[in-house]
Amino acid sequence: MLGNNAMKSDKVDNRNPINKFGGIDYLKITVLGFALTALWSSIHSIILPLRLLDIIPEGQKNTYLDLLILAGLILALVVQPIAGAFSDVSSSKWGRRRPYILTGTLILIILTTGIGLSPSYGVIFLVYCLMQISSNTAQGPYQAFIPELVPESKRGLASGVKGLLSIVGGIVLIRLVAVLIDRYPTNNTGTWLSLAVLVFIVAVSLVYTIFAVKEQPWKGKYASPLTSIRRSFHIDFKAKPQFILFIIASFLVFTGWNTLSAHALYYFQDVIGVDSPAAVTADLMIAMGIGMLVAVYLAGILSDKVGRRPVVVGSGLMGALGIIVLFFSRSYWQVIFCGTLLGMCAGAWLSSQWALATDLVGKGEEAKYLGLSNMSIAGAGAAARLIGPLIDFLNTSRINFGYQIMLLACFIYFVIGSVLLLIIKIPRLKS
């Protein structure tokens, strides 16, 4: 691995392998992200919601699903930085990151079969939490590949490739899972086939990553894991009030986006009454993914020309419009149109938010504060799961009333997130 001093010298030392980075190297350090995104997108959006219907009361499905995934996401927020900090001080001859990636992913592969085997909610809860621990044990160290193995001048492209593969992994495999589950709806055959496909893709990506990635010897100074964790979470909130407002806005927008994604399958089943909620959910995710792909590139260019604020505010309001469209949607194509709007909202926000976050923090502090921004997105995923019990409770008082309140909450999240950005003082871009 490369320490800070080594990374500073990668422009002049032509003997350093990092200078030859290009082509297939982008795939080597990002393909596992593709596989893990495919796995978790399919499990969260389709496999778990349908699997739980076999073992929980119909009227409490949102509550049980949200409790399960909320616990897992909280574990992810805790485990990932800790695993990363411990890998920072690893002295394994395999490198600092690969032992954690190998161990965590192998355990994840074994545990994934438990989704199909679990006979009760308690068992599936335990299996899912252990899956989150093992997955994030791998993901924390895995995310260090880009800053450590990619030259500074190529990290933007590497991050773009990683983001692109993650989106593709999420939308392509989720449709295949929906097809398998619809084709084999009895005896969990579709679930088992889906899990087998996902496990195979993760396993192949893991083998390729472990043998293809060549970590460089670590030459920096070691700090204790406790010190690394403390430094990562030390944030000067008083010195960055504008950045904190930005974090809150980002949290709200992604809470709205994740709330809808989390409950889409049950919404389509109960409210719209589609014949195949799994297939429609998959198609919604694909529409979101396509919208993200379109918006990410265009929003990045636009934010450099007209400024960050109009782009992020506009994307948040686009999300609010998508919620209005969904509220009145009663056909397949209306749902797909809604998904496209929400995908463009997320893509434009993601593209511009990193640039805006960088504008708001000081030189030399980008990594720490961008990490906090990333945690706000992860935290939004957890917050989106808090509404499940409310949905089930309100649905008992009036048919589908809980889902109406859910959409209202999403609308409010998008609007308030956008309004907050109007009061943030954003530095002028240098021409």
At residue 409, the pLDDT reads 95
Contact 401, 390 (CB under 8 A): no
Predicted pLDDT of residue 390: 93
Residue range 136-156: mean pLDDT, rounded: 76
pLDDT band, residue 225 (cuts 50/70/90):
low
Q: pLDDT value at position 3?
A: 37
Position 60 pLDDT exceeds 70:
yes
Report percent pLDDT > 70 for the chain: 76
Q: What percent of the chain has pLDDT over 90?
A: 27
258 with 201, same domain: the answer is no
Q: What is the pLDDT of residue 381?
A: 84
Distance CA 29, CA 144 (A): 10
Alpha carbons 256 and 323: distance in angstroms, whole number: 9
* Residues 224-231: contacts with CB under 8 Å, at least 24 apart: 224/89, 225/82, 225/85, 225/86, 225/88, 225/89, 226/85, 228/84, 228/85, 228/88, 228/89, 229/81, 229/82, 229/85, 231/368
Indicate whether 61 and 28 sit together in one domain. Answer: yes
pLDDT given at position 43: 93
202 touches 31 (CB < 8 A):
no
C-alpha span between 71 and 33 (Å, rounded): 22
Domain with 84 in it: what CATH number? 1.20.1250.20
Which among 176, 210, 234 is the end of a domain? 234
Residue where one domain finishes, among candidates 203, 234, 265: 234
What's residue 300's pLDDT?
A: 64
Tokens of 217: 């010897």
Q: Domain for residue 430, yes or no?
A: no
Question: What pLDDT, on the 0 to 100 scale, is given for residue 183?
Answer: 77
Domain shared by 206 and 257, yes or no? no
Decide if 1 is inside a domain.
no
What is the per-residue pLDDT for 122?
A: 93
Same domain, 187 and 293: no
Confidence of residue 11 (pLDDT cuts 50, 70, 90): very low
Q: pLDDT (tens digit, 9 = 90+) per residue, 365-374? A: 544 555 566 6
Are both 201 and 265 inside the same structural domain?
no
> DSSP assignment of 119-140, as one string?
-SHHHHHHHHHHHHHHHHHHHH
Asked if the structure places residue 79 within a domain, the reply is: yes
Q: What pTM was computed for the model? A: 0.77
* In a domain? residue 2: no
Number of structural domains the chain divides into: 2
pLDDT at 340 over 70: yes
213/252 same-domain check: no
Specify the DSSP class assigned to residue 270: I
| Residues 187/54, Cβ–Cβ less than 8 Å | no
Q: Can you tell me the mean pLDDT for 49-59? A: 89
Q: Quote the pLDDT of residue 388.
A: 92
pLDDT digits (tens, 9 = 90+) for 68-110: 999 988 888 888 878 877 777 766 677 778 889 999 999 999 9
So what's the pLDDT on residue 7? 37
- Residues 110-119 pLDDT 10s: 999 999 888 8
Range of the domain at 417: 238-424
Top-ranked range on mean pLDDT: pick from 140-154, 316-330, 398-412: 398-412
Give the confidence band of 240 by pLDDT, cuts at 50, 70, 90: low
Q: Which of 234-243, 248-257, 299-308, 420-429 has the lowest mean pLDDT?
A: 234-243
On whether residue 38 sits in a domain, the answer given is yes
pLDDT at 124: 94
Q: Which of 55-69, 194-208, 282-296, 349-363 has the least mean pLDDT?
A: 349-363
Would you say residue 301 lies in a domain?
yes
